[in-house]
């Protein structure tokens, strides 16, 4: 990656001056670094005291990702928004070569504390992951858990990272247009104006109209451990438009799990999107047996059957779902 030099603004300079020039009189102990952020931790760090409640080190969503991909040993992984390194730990333990980008100063420093505490080898980078300097890099998988719904322009982020990978994992909140399906807690927040449902914003992506709804963080930004977006608002994408956009970006093989419309904080789900070229997969020179089995079906059914075959059998058999030279390096 290219090196980036950026000057801190006056507020940042004052904060870091005070923080970095202070000394401690405490006896050296691993707990001391965790106590620097007491009251700000989201994740439960086993072996440390007074951290958070989120058990990110045993997250079923990441277990599902690893299972669906058939493992990631030796694979290059780009993680966006690691929070406090729990998912990073799971990805590294599974054999991934992980580069993780965090834009929040506090979360980044907490990641370094966890890295030191657990002896992680993964690389953590401080920076705005909506504009990652990864122009020369290609990743086997991009992991974006809990970040898309924090973006002012989630479409631009998806466009950028999708050009660098064949597999995209997303866990995100989305906007469900049937408001009756929302949880009672979220419905009250709708009534309080958290989501500006009367003024949707539409993005045009090569002819595809993508509908988004603005949400405001309100009092949430007052918490010292807040790690949401850098602005006071973000845009949530409508579910059907999000799925259409991902297909538009070249990811035909989409698997969905953990779909919870009535989540107390708003509808959410996880998805794994992988590139899939049905014409390549059913090419008689590549897979003649599959060509003979599926090629007589109409395109939509042919693609659906081919993707299902790959997910159930093809990956285990070592079949390739697309040409390997399709992404520019």
pLDDT value of residue 224: 53
Question: What mean pLDDT is predicted for residues 34-44?
Answer: 93
pLDDT digits (tens, 9 = 90+) for 95-116: 999 999 999 889 999 999 999 9
Please give the pLDDT value at position 278. Answer: 96
Mean pLDDT (the chain, rounded): 90
CATH class for the region spanning 30-274: alpha beta
Percent of the chain with pLDDT over 90: 79
Give the integer Cα–Cα distance in Å for 226 and 54.
14
d(CA 173, CA 165): 22
According to the model, what pLDDT value does residue 216 have? 92
Nearest to 62 by CA among 98, 90, 24, 30: 90
Structural contact between residues 37 and 60, judged by C-beta atoms closer than 8 angstroms: no
Return the domain boundaries, the chain: 30-274, 278-317
Cβ partners under 8 Å of residue 182, min gap 6: 176, 190, 261, 262, 266, 267
Half-sphere exposure of 77 (CA within 13 A, CB side): 34
For residue 165, give Cα distances in angstroms to 6, 72, 157: 27, 14, 13
Cβ pair 144, 80 in contact under 8 A: yes
pTM: 0.89
């Amino acid at each position: 990656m290219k090196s980036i030099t950026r000057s801190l603004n006056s507020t940042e300079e004052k904060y870091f001056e005070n923080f970095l020039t202070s000394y401690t009189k405490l006896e050296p102990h691993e707990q001391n670094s965790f106590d620097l952020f007491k009251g700000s931790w989201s994740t439960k760090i086993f072996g440390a005291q007074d951290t958070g409640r989120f058990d990110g080190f045993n997250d079923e969503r990441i277990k599902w990702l690893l299972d669906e991909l058939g493992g990631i040993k030796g694979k290059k992984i780009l993680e966006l928004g690691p929070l406090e390194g729990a998912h990073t730990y799971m990805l590294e333990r599974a054999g991934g070569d992980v580069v993780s980008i965090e834009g929040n100063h506090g979360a980044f420093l907490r990641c370094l504390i966890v890295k030191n505490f657990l002896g992680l080898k993964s690389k953590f980078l401080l920076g705005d992951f909506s504009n990652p300097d990864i122009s020369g890099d290609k990743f086997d998988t991009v992991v974006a858990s809990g970040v898309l719904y924090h973006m002012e322009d989630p479409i631009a982020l998806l466009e950028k990272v999708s050009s660098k990978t064949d597999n995209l994992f997303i866990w995100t909140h989305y906007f469900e247009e049937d408001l009756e399906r929302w949880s009672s807690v979220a419905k009250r927040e709708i009534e309080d104006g958290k989501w500006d449902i009367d003024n949707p914003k539409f993005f045009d992506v090569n002819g595809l109209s993508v509908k988004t709804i603005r949400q405001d963080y309100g009092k949430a930004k007052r918490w010292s451990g807040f790690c949401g977006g850098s602005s006071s608002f973000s845009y949530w994408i409508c579910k059907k438009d999000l799925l259409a956009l991902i297909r538009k970006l070249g990811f035909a093989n989409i698997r969905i799990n953990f779909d919870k419309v009535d989540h107390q904080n708003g509808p959410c789900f996880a998805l794994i999107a992988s590139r899939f070229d049905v014409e390549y997969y059913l090419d008689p020179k590549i897979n003649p047996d599959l060509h003979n089995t599926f090629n007589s079906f109409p395109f939509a059914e042919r693609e659906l059957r081919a993707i299902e075959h790959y997910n159930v059998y093809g990956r285990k058999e070592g079949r390739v779902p697309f040409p390997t030279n399709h992404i520019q390096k």
